[in-house]
Amino acid sequence: MNILVFGPNGSGKGTQGAIIQKKYNFSHIESGAIFRLNIGGGTELGKQAKEYIDRGDLVPDDITIPMILDRLKEDDCKGGWILDGFPRNKVQAETLAKALQDEGINLDYVIEITLKREIAKLRITGRRLCVNDNNHPNHIAFEAIKPVEKDGQIVCRVCGGELKTRPDDQDDAAIDKRHDIYYDEDTGTMAAVNFFKSLGGATKVITVDGEPSIDTVSEAIMKELI
Ligand code: AMP
């Protein structure tokens, strides 16, 4: 099964992607996480991507598109994938659709997690990333996923690991820019969402409200997935 998941930064799409990944054991491909891994590892790709990411801009298509299309060709993707964070604009959407068509790969589901922009922004600044697992949700403002305290430090509620913030999550202008791109229906991510929603055919669209708890959103998605 192949799935695209869309949602503004802060909507919980990474968390939901990880839950789906765990249940079905698909490959969970997160474009942002691939970039962060490369930045952490000091690779050439990481060096090229960093300045764009820090500003909240998209990394240029000539870097991002081949990175993702190559990733989808790897062996672990043969059994199904969930792609999160890509496509992020209309060009990426059209290129992906054509690549899938050329390779004879079906897109089974498009999941769209909706969330008002003000709420998405509030969620971003309080989230904390676990250094052991990118998909351990921690947020300083939500009781259900609050980090825990250990030896005077706040640590991951799931594994006790160290917590970090993303620089682009603490920068107001970078958050606004990411949301400008997401909610842009002409050429931005909403244009990509609408492009895939209008494809029809065998692709099923699942639209869920991202405001309730992680479990409620997850249940709403799971009951639509076969
Ligand atoms: P995310 O983890 O999805 O919030 O992505 C973090 C950052 O990585 C974004 O703000 C972009 O700078 C970059 N990025 C992630 N996915 C893409 C993409 N599909 N196209 C261009 N840049 C991307």
Do 188 and 157 lie in one domain? The reply is no
What lines the ligand 1 site, CB under 6 Å? 9, 31-32, 35, 52-53, 56-59, 64, 85-86, 88, 92, 168, 178
pLDDT, residue 189, reads 98
Do 87 and 38 lie in one domain? The reply is yes
Q: Is 13 a catalytic residue?
A: yes
Do 146 and 216 lie in one domain? The reply is no
State in Å: Cα 150 to ligand 1 middle.
32
Exactly one of 88, 90, 121, 157 is catalytic; which is it? 88
Exactly one of 36, 127, 128, 157 is catalytic; which is it? 127
Do 43 and 147 lie in one domain? The reply is no
What is the tally of structural domains in the chain?
2
123 within some domain: no
Contact predicate 45/67, CB 8 Å? yes
141 within some domain: yes
134 within some domain: yes
Do 157 and 176 lie in one domain? The reply is no
Do 45 and 148 lie in one domain? The reply is no
pLDDT, residue 164, reads 95
pLDDT, residue 64, reads 98
Instruction: Indicate which CATH number applies to the domain containing 59.
Output: 3.40.50.300
Nearest residue to 224 (alpha-carbon basis) of 86, 88, 20 = 20
Contacts 24+ apart (CB under 8 A), 91-99: 91/61, 91/65, 91/187, 92/61, 92/64, 92/65, 92/192, 93/191, 93/192, 93/195, 93/196, 94/195, 95/61, 95/65, 95/69, 96/65, 96/68, 96/69, 97/195, 97/196, 97/199, 99/69, 99/72
161-207 pLDDT, tens digit per residue, is 999 999 999 999 999 999 999 999 999 999 999 999 998 888 999 99
201 within some domain: yes
Radius of gyration of the CA atoms of the chain, in A: 17
User: Residue 139 belongs to what domain range?
Assistant: 128-164
State in Å: Cα 152 to ligand 1 middle.
33
Alpha helices by DSSP H, listed for 113-213, are 117-126, 172-183, 189-197
33-90 pLDDT, tens digit per residue, is 999 999 999 999 999 999 999 999 999 999 999 999 999 999 999 999 999 999 999 9
Q: Is the dihedral of CA 203, 178, 118, 131 positive or negative?
A: positive
State in Å: Cα 88 to ligand 1 middle.
8
pLDDT, residue 163, reads 97
Do 78 and 189 lie in one domain? The reply is yes
Residues 199 and 153: their CA atoms lie apart, in Å, by 49
Q: Is 88 a catalytic residue?
A: yes
Do 143 and 182 lie in one domain? The reply is no
Do 133 and 150 lie in one domain? The reply is yes
